[in-house]
């Protein structure tokens, strides 16, 4: 896969996320300042704030794509990601299982230590101090 294709896919995915964020943000701003935010097209349920969000997202994406510094860094990152040897599904499954088991062992150990400390501080120490 070409690094440029990977960057375009990442830009499209991030663009969708940013568009949803901007749509909600501009919708809230329109409500707060009391601007009429009527529907543009009845069948699509699009509001004016959604069109502003779409325009802002397209403008931001165009700026980032035409900015030579951002574009070169994005292509370099995509190229480096393609060089990485990713673990297989089996290696990932075994590593995840090891982390889960280690977490369970640590939680049982900490529960035991906490229970022992509670017993010592609440039951045994007051009993010993009472006899002194």
> pLDDT tens digits, residue range 60-99?
888 888 899 988 998 898 889 888 888 999 999 999 999 9
**8 Å CB contact between 27 and 56:** no
Considering the domain architecture, whether residues 77 and 107 belong to the same structural domain is answered as: no
Last residue of a domain, one of 83, 104, 124: 83
Q: Is the pLDDT of residue 24 over 90?
A: no
> pLDDT tens digits, residue range 99-117?
999 999 999 999 999 999 9
Structural domain range at position 11 = 3-83
Tell me how many domains the chain contains: 2
Q: Is the pLDDT of residue 45 over 80?
A: no
Cβ count near 39 (within 10 Å)? 12
Q: Measure the CA–CA gap between 70 and 122, rounded to whole angstroms.
A: 61
How far apart, in Å, are the Cα atoms of 123 and each of 13, 77, 111, 127? 58, 59, 17, 6
Q: Is the pLDDT of residue 132 over 70?
A: no
**8 Å CB contact between 55 and 48:** no
- pTM over 0.75, yes/no: no
pLDDT (average), residues 9-32: 86
């Amino acid at each position: 896969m070409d690094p440029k294709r990977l960057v375009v896919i990442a830009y499209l995915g991030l663009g969708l996320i940013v568009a949803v964020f901007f749509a909600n943000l501009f919708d809230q701003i329109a409500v707060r300042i009391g601007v009429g935010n009527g529907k543009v097209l009845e069948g699509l349920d699009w509001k004016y704030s959604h069109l502003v969000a779409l325009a802002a997202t397209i403008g931001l994406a165009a700026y980032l794509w035409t900015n030579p510094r951002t574009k070169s860094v994005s292509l370099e990152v995509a190229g480096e990601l393609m060089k990485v040897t990713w673990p297989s599904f089996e290696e990932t499954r075994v590593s995840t299982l090891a982390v889960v088991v280690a977490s369970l062992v640590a939680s049982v150990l900490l529960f035991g230590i906490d229970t022992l400390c509670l017993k010592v501080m609440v039951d045994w120490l007051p009993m010993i101090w009472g006899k002194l």
